[in-house]
Structure 1
Amino acid sequence: MFEKFKSHINKKYTTISVYVIITVAIIFALGFATTRIGIIFKTATDVLFYLLKIFTPVFIGVVIAYIIDPMVNFTEKLYSKSKIIRFKNQKKYRSLAVFSCIIGTITLIFVLVGLFIFSITKEIANIKLDQAIALITNYINSFSDSLSSFEGKLADLNIVKSNAIDQYISQLSTSLINGLKDFTNNLAGSTKHISSYASNIVFGLIIGIYLLLDKEDFKEYCDKFSRALFTDKMQNRIKNFWEDFNRIFSGYIRGQLLDSLFMCIVLSICLTIIGIKFGMLIGVLAGLCNLIPYFGPIVAFVGTILFGMLNGQYTQVIIAIVVLLIVQQIDGNIIGPKLLGKSVSLKPIFILVAVLIGSQIAGVLGMVLAVPVAGIIKLFIKRHIDERLRKKEAAEHEAAVSKE
Structure 2
Amino acid sequence: MTHLDLIGRIIAALFDFILPVIVGIILAYIMDPPIRAVERKLNQRSVKHPRGKAIAIVIAIILVSLGLLVVAVVPQVVSSMVQFSTSKTSYHGELQQFVDQVAHHHVNMKSVFSTIDKTLDKMQNQVKNQFLLTTKSNGRHILNFAVDFILAIYFLVDKRRVQRSARNWFKLSMRDSTYQKFSAGWKRCDRIFIKYLICEVIDALIVGGVNAGFMLVCGMDYVPMISVVVGLTNLVPTFGPIIGAVVGAFVLMINNPLHALLFLAFTGLLQTVDGYLIKPKLYGDTLGVPGLLILIAVIIGGRVFGVLGMLFAIPVMAILDILNHETFMPFLKRKKIERESRTKKKKPGSEIETDALDLLLSLQEQEKNSD
TM-score (norm: length of structure 2): 0.75
Matches within 5 A, 1:76-91: 76-82=39-45, 86-87=47-48
Matched, 1:105 2:73: no
Which of 121, 143, 167 is matched with 1:223 structurally? 167
Is 1:69 the counterpart of 2:32? The answer is yes
8 Å CA contact 1:116–1:281 kept in 2: the answer is yes
Counterpart check, 1:349 vs 2:306: no
Return the offset for 1:291: 1.9
**Partners of 1:251 and 1:341 within 8 A in 2:** no
How many angstroms does 1:274 deviate by?
2.4
* SS class of match (2:64): helix
Q: Provide the identity percentage.
A: 23
Moved more, 281-290 or 317-326: 317-326
Give the AA of the match of 2:157. L
- Secondary structure of the corresponding residue to residue 286 of structure 2: coil
Conserved 8 A contact 1:61-1:208:
yes
Q: Which runs of 5+ in 1 are unaligned?
A: 1-32, 149-168
- The whole-number CA distance in structure 2 between the counterparts of 1:202 and 1:129 is 34
1:282–1:299: 8 Å Cα contact kept in structure 2?
no
**C-alpha distance in 2 between matches for 1:336 and 1:218:** 34
Whole-Å Cα distance in 1 between the matches of residues 234 and 87 of structure 2? 33
1:317-328 to 2 correspondences below 5 Å? 317-328=260-271
How far apart in 2 are the matches of 1:113 and 1:56? 27
Q: Deviation at 1:247? A: 2.4
Once the two structures are TM-superposed, the CA of residue 144 in structure 1 deviates from its matched residue by 5.7
Q: Contact 2:80–2:251 at 8 Å: present in 1 too?
A: no
How far has the Cα of 1:279 moved from its partner? 3.7
Structure 2 gap segments, 5+ residues each: 97-106, 342-351, 358-371
- Higher alpha-carbon deviation: 384-393 or 255-264: 384-393
Describe the SS at the equivalent of 1:132.
Answer: coil
Question: Aligned with 2:207: secondary structure?
Answer: helix
Report the residue type matching 2:133 in the other structure: G
Q: 1:297 to 1:342 in 2, by over 3 A?
A: same
What secondary structure does 1:207 align onto?
helix
Cα shift readout 1:259-279 (whole Å, capped 9, x = no counterpart): 223333432443244233434
- Is residue 2:283 matched to residue 1:340? yes
How many residues are paired up? 335
Question: What amino acid maps onto 2:29 in structure 1?
Answer: Y
CA distance in 1, matches of 2:160, 2:337: 43
For 1:264, the equivalent position in structure 2 comes to: 208
Give the aligned partner of residue 159 of structure 1.
none
Counterpart of 1:158 in structure 2 is none
Residue 19 of structure 1: aligned partner: none
Deviates most, 129-138 or 108-117: 129-138
* Corresponding residue number in structure 2 for 1:290: 234
1:109-148 aligned at under 5 Å gives the runs 109-121=66-78, 127=83, 131-135=87-91, 145=111
The 1-side partners of 2:335 and 2:85 are apart by: 73
- Structure 2 match to 1:17: none
CA contact (8 A) 1:120 1:280 kept: no
1:400 Cα shift? 9.8
Q: Secondary structure at the match of 1:133?
A: coil
User: What is the deviation of 1:81?
Assistant: 1.1
CA distance in 2, matches of 1:355, 1:115: 30
1:221, distance to aligned residue in structure 2 (A): 0.5
Alignment-derived partner of residue 369 in structure 2: none
Task: Normalising by structure 1, report the TM-score.
Answer: 0.70
Matched to 1:77, the amino acid is R
1:7-47 Cα shifts (integer Å, max 9, x gaps): xxxxxxxxxxxxxxxxxxxxxxxxxx43xx3xx42x33333
* Aligned mate of 1:96, from 39, 50, 53: 53
**In structure 2, what is the Cα distance between the partners aligned to 1:128 and 1:234?**
62
CA distance in 2, matches of 1:367, 1:118: 29
Q: Which amino acid aligns with 1:103?
A: A
Preserved CA contact (<8 Å) 2:289 2:318: yes
Q: Which residue of 1 aligns with 2:324?
A: 381
Distance (Å, rounded) in 2 between the aligned partners of 1:319 and 1:147: 21
CA 1:134/1:322 → structure 2, altered by over 3 Å: closer, same or farther? closer
Residue identity in the other structure for 1:60: V
Shift in Å at residue 219 of structure 1? 0.9
Deviation at 1:287, TM superposition (A): 1.8
The question of whether the paired residues in 2 share the 8 Å contact of 1:274 and 1:320 is answered with no
| Residue 146 to residue 184, structure 1, CA distance change in 2 (3 Å) | closer
Match of 1:27 in 2: none
Relative to structure 2, which stretch is displaced further, 356-365 or 179-188?
Answer: 179-188
1:178-217 to structure 2, matched below 5 A, reads: 184-217=128-161
Partner of 1:274: 218
